[in-house]
Amino acid sequence: MYIISACLLGTNCKYDGGSNATAWVKEFAAEHSICAVCPETLAGLLSPRDPCELVDGRVFTADGRDLTDAFTTGAENAYKVILDEALVREEKIEGAILKSNSPSCGCGTIYDGTFSHTTVSGDGVFAKILLDHGIRIITEKERIDD
């Protein structure tokens, strides 16, 4: 089973009310066992919502509201959903395809907190949980060869 950021499959859960639908990820999902999650939705956040970025491990809106607790709860909820799905399906988690640069799903690089589309090294809150559990991650900018 592969974990996929729901917005990459066309779910309108992005902060601006849209999605990040990505053709190759949708094709991949049609051919594999997948579990789509949006950690920010699972935090109880609505779409549209204020954009957020990570600064020194904490999550802020552009006007300085600290949403770290909500993002952490959402990431933990998403991880629980994945584990439950894997258990019910009796499948192992093969890896994850997550949205690049997101404060939740970004892996390797994330936006830097200046809301200027500038990236720095780092991982989103959800991606970090997966990495801590040894789950390999790629973003929609890469591809899984299998």
Q: Does 40 bind ligand SF4 (CB under 6 A)?
A: yes
Q: For ligand SF4, which residue of 1, 3, 13, 59 counts as binding (CB under 6 A)?
A: 13
Name the residue type at position 62: A
User: With contact defined as beta carbons under 8 Å apart, do 79 and 129 qualify?
Assistant: yes
C-alpha torsion angle, residues 22, 9, 21, 53 (rounded to 10): -100
For the record, the structure tokens of 140 come out as: 């929609």
Q: Which is nearer to ligand SF4, 39 or 108 (CB)?
A: 39
Query: Using CA atoms, how far apart are residues 114 and 64, in angstroms rounded to an integer?
Result: 11
- Footprint of ligand SF4 on 50-69 (CB under 6 A): none
DSSP 2: E
Can you tell me which residue has the tokens 């991650």?
137
Beta strand spans in 6-146 (E):
34-37, 52-55, 58-61, 95-98, 109-111, 119-121, 137-139
Per CB under 6 A, which region of 23-31, 32-40, 108-116, 129-137 contacts ligand SF4? 32-40
Contact string 84-123 vs ligand SF4 (x = CB under 6 A) = ---------------x--x-xx------------------
Q: How far is CA 124 from the centre of its chain?
A: 7
Q: How many positions of this chain bind ligand SF4 (CB under 6 A)?
A: 12
Q: Which is nearer to ligand SF4, 8 or 90 (CB)?
A: 8
Per CB under 6 A, which region of 3-11, 23-31, 88-96, 128-136 contacts ligand SF4? 3-11
Least distance from ligand SF4 to the Cβ atom of residue 37, Å? 7
Sites of contact with ligand SF4 (CB under 6 A): 5-7, 13-14, 38-40, 99, 102, 104-105
